[in-house]
């Protein structure tokens, strides 16, 4: 098989699932109405609620949901089980689950005055569910915030050729916001100018590599080349134990990224978060288009970059460590945590995108459309490793994508540089938005009990400080092992809320309910498998060897895994009772439906 066939399959999936399934649900079940006022128009404050052009909002939502997950997950899955299981899950997941989760979370919030998932859970299910969901969401966000800051700092520290592009990306985002919302410049010329400059800076990265490499070396020289912090990293040297080091330059980039994220969290949405993400969308979109078309054309022009080189299927249960297990079910479905379906999408869609929907007619193209675009990103990552690109996931993605882009005549060095920059753009702009959602969640959760948390600066500072703490201590390395399961569990819980809401307003709930059942059972199972692996492959060997720190860290992660399962069971039980209540009260459902129209 070659990349051309895979790209054709991907395009057919997007077309058929969107036109034949998603549109029918939007028309017959949700019945979106362009005449109905949206929360963005009713509560416009320019900070979080702001009616936004659907073209901008599509790019904003796509770039807000497409982070490292669809790239790293697809590559890891292909290396574990082969490219065929990964491709099947990407196709079936997005066609029947992913778009439904993204779109429905936006619909749920829009039809409930822009409320967050936790606020909807309080009204539809119970106060206990709201509290459990708040705790789950905040620590889930803290996990990915710490991990993404750590990943971003490491990549920025090791890839100085990308620094100029990232700096000008942020600058051009700020300029774009000013041009659109203060100077009244049209979308097309403003986009062309800002994206053009940002893209030129990305391509010019190799020319300025020496400058930023010197900056990194200067910071490292302040401590004589010694690390500031060392910590045990279970991802190094198998499970034998190894020390990871935080150099001064790494800390510099971690702090710089957190300052950027703090600004994105507290500034009005139009000033920074939205335009920076929108510019980042075009960098990613151009690289994706060049990559997908390059992979297709490479079949004829440059066959060595387009032929599949890894096995289609490697086995049902690859071994992880001396006694670890990775059964295809349930682990494949949480390893590819994005591209098929993702909890981050529904969480962000309900808190971020839904509050910018200008017309209900925009919910489907923005929510479902952006999810299908992320599926194509996951497919591109899968192709990058399937054609034989080597290295860890990020390097494999950059090398494979660089090979596809080089088909267009761009020198391989610059093509790979563009691919690395694309990955950094993908993660950077999403990291900014994670802190914005964390700020909102922390305020809603504890703002009544602790009044200072109602202040956006206080809530944002606490969120950033906790993420830096995870990076400096290396704790995020342990937490990251639970990311896939926690992320997919968030998707299941979101679909649970959507299912209950649909039942409460007397609408057909099956399109959300059936995916919810599958994801709920699958993610609970995957958490138990992860806990088993952590216990037998990390906790026991390190405890026997007298390595206290990694034993304590992995033991705590086993406890966290158990708590995740308990939280899921509580929410599932309360949700089931609420669902039965609404299902058995058609009169009440009809009244609720009337009240919401």
3-class SS letters over 410-476: CCHHHHHHHHHHHHHHHHHHHHHHHHHHHHHHHHHHHCCCCHHHHCHHHHHHHHHHHHHHHHHHCHH
Judge contact between 334 and 526, C-beta under 8 A. Answer: yes
Report the SS3 class of residue 338.
Answer: coil
- Structural domain containing residue 416: 3-596
DSSP H helix total and E strand total for the chain: 27, 4
Bond into 67 cis (ω within 30): no
- Residue in the block written with tokens 């017959």: 28
Structural domains in the chain (count) = 1
As beta bridge partners, residue 232 has 243
As beta bridge partners, residue 244 has 231
Q: What is the DSSP letter of 304?
A: G
Instruction: Tell me, yes or no, if the pTM score tops 0.75.
Output: yes
Alpha helices in 302-340 (DSSP H): 328-335
What does the pLDDT profile of the chain (597 residues) look like in tens digits? 788 999 999 999 999 999 999 999 999 999 999 999 999 999 998 788 999 999 999 999 998 888 777 888 899 899 899 999 999 999 999 999 999 999 999 999 999 999 888 889 888 888 888 888 888 888 878 878 887 788 788 878 888 888 888 889 999 999 999 999 999 999 999 999 999 999 888 888 778 888 888 988 999 999 988 888 877 665 554 444 567 788 899 889 889 988 988 998 899 989 998 999 999 899 889 889 999 999 998 888 888 777 888 899 998 988 765 666 789 999 999 988 888 999 889 989 998 899 999 999 999 999 999 999 999 999 999 998 888 777 778 888 888 888 888 888 888 877 887 787 777 777 777 777 888 888 888 888 888 889 999 999 999 999 999 888 888 777 666 666 677 788 888 899 999 999 999 999 999 999 999 999 999 999 999 999 888 888 887 778 778 777 776 777 778 888 888 888 888 899 899 999 999 999 877 545 444 444 444
Long-range contacts of 545-549 (CB under 8 A, 24+ apart): 545/241, 547/232, 547/241, 549/231, 549/232
Q: Which residues have a Cβ under 8 Å from the Cβ of 396 and sit 6 or more positions away?
A: 75, 384, 385, 389, 390
- Residue in the block written with tokens 């497409």: 66
């Amino acid at each position: 098989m070659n990349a051309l066939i895979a790209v054709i399959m991907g395009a057919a999936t997007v077309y058929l699932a969107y036109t034949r399934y998603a549109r029918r649900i939007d028309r017959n079940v949700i019945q979106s109405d362009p005449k109905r006022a949206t929360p963005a128009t009713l509560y416009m404050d320019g900070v979080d609620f702001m009616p936004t052009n659907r073209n901008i909002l599509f790019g904003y939502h796509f770039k807000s949901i497409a982070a490292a997950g669809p790239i790293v997950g697809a590559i890891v899955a292909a290396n574990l089980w082969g490219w065929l299981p990964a491709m099947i899950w990407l196709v079936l997941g997005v066609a029947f689950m992913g778009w439904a989760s993204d779109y429905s979370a936006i619909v749920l919030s829009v039809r409930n005055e822009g409320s967050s998932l936790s606020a909807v859970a309080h009204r539809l299910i119970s106060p206990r569910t709201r509290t459990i969901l708040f705790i789950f969401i905040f620590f889930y966000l803290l996990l990915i915030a710490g991990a993404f800051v750590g990943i971003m700092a490491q990549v920025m520290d090791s890839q100085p050729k990308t620094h100029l592009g990232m700096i000008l990306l942020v600058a051009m985002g700020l300029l774009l916001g000013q041009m659109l919302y203060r100077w009244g410049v049209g979308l097309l010329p403003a986009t062309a100018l800002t994206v053009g400059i940002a893209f030129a800076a990305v391509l010019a990265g190799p020319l300025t590599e020496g400058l930023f490499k010197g900056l990194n070396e200067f910071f490292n020289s302040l401590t004589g080349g010694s690390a500031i912090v060392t910590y045990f990293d279970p991802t190094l040297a198998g499970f034998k134990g190894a020390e990871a080091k935080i150099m001064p330059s790494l800390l510099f980039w971690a702090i710089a990224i957190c300052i950027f994220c703090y600004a994105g969290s507290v500034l009005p949405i139009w000033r920074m978060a939205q335009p920076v993400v929108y510019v980042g969308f075009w960098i990613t979109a151009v690289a994706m288009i060049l990559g997908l078309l390059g992979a297709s054309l490479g079949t004829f022009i440059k066959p060595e970059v387009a032929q599949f080189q890894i096995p289609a299927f490697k086995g049902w249960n690859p071994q992880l460590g001396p006694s670890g297990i990775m059964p295809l079910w349930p682990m494949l479905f949480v390893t590819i945590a994005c591209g098929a379906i993702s909890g981050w999408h529904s969480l962000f869609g309900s808190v971020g995108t839904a509050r910018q929907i200008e017309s209900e007619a925009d919910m489907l193209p923005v929510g479902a459309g952006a999810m299908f675009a992320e599926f194509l990103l996951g497919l591109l990552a899968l192709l990058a490793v399937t054609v034989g690109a080597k290295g860890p996931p990020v390097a494999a993605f950059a090398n494979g994508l660089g090979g596809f882009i080089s088909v267009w005549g761009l020198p391989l060095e610059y093509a790979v540089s563009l691919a690395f920059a694309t990955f950094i753009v993908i993660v950077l702009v999403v990291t900014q938005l994670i802190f914005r959602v964390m700020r909102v969640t922390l305020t809603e959760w504890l703002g009544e009990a602790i009044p200072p948390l109602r202040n956006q600066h206080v809530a944002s500072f606490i969120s950033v400080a906790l993420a830096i703490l995870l990076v400096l201590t290396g704790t995020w390395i342990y937490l990251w092992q639970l990311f896939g399961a926690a992320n997919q569990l968030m998707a299941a819980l979101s679909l649970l809320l959507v299912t209950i809401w649909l039942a409460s307003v007397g609408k057909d709930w099956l399109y959300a309910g059936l995916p919810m059942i599958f994801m709920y059972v699958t993610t609970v199972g995957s958490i138990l498998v992860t806990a088993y692996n952590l216990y037998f492959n990390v906790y026991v060997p390190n405890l026997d060897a007298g390595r206290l720190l990694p034993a304590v860290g992995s033991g705590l992660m086993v406890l966290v895994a158990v708590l995740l399962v308990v939280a899921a069971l509580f929410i599932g039980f309360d949700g089931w009772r609420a669902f039965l209540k609404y299902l058995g009260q058609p009169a009440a459902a009809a009244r609720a439906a009337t009240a919401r129209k």
